[in-house]
Amino acid sequence: MIDDLTVTMPSDLEIKMVRVFDAPRTLVFEAHTKCEHLKHWWGRGNPLDCEVDLRPGGTYRFVEHAPDGETYAFHGEYREIQAPERIVQTFEFEGMPGHVCVETLELTEEQGRTTVTSVTRFDTKEERDGMASSGMADGAAESYRALAAYLATLS
């Protein structure tokens, strides 16, 4: 566990992350799908260029501007959207083209708190292991810390 983020590998092709937020599901869903919110947390609080066409077949693209001057771009396509409870999308880091994974994000709410469960499925065990060793969990934990802080400002 990193901070409040639990990371597991339920199969040879998957990474699962679970985090609870002190905010209603509708707000957490919007924070994952609207650029006006994503810019505050997705890139761990770094400046972010954001494009979102939230519909099945629609696409998204994020470009994070790191403090060292580097940029990191990511994009994907929405496959399924069931607001405010589920998003299935592809995810590709543009620095490593051709390595596309599928992310399923599920949001459940209980007593005003929202649990976000993300399962990322890779084509091969090697791709999963490569992502796991890339510092992905630390980056996700940082982003989710930024999200928790941002959600607190909206309540």
Each residue's pLDDT tens digit, 55-108: 999 999 999 999 999 999 999 999 999 999 999 999 999 988 999 999 999 999
With vertex at residue 29, the alpha carbon angle to CA 86 and CA 123, rounded to the nearest 5 degrees, is: 45
Q: Is the pLDDT of residue 152 over 70?
A: yes
Each residue's pLDDT tens digit, 110-140: 999 999 999 999 999 999 999 899 888 998 9
The mean of the pLDDT values for the chain is: 94
Each residue's pLDDT tens digit, 25-49: 999 999 999 999 999 999 887 999 9
pTM: 0.94
Angstrom distance (rounded) from CA 114 to CA 19: 8
Residue 132 vs residues 14, 45, 154: alpha-carbon distances, Å: 10, 22, 32
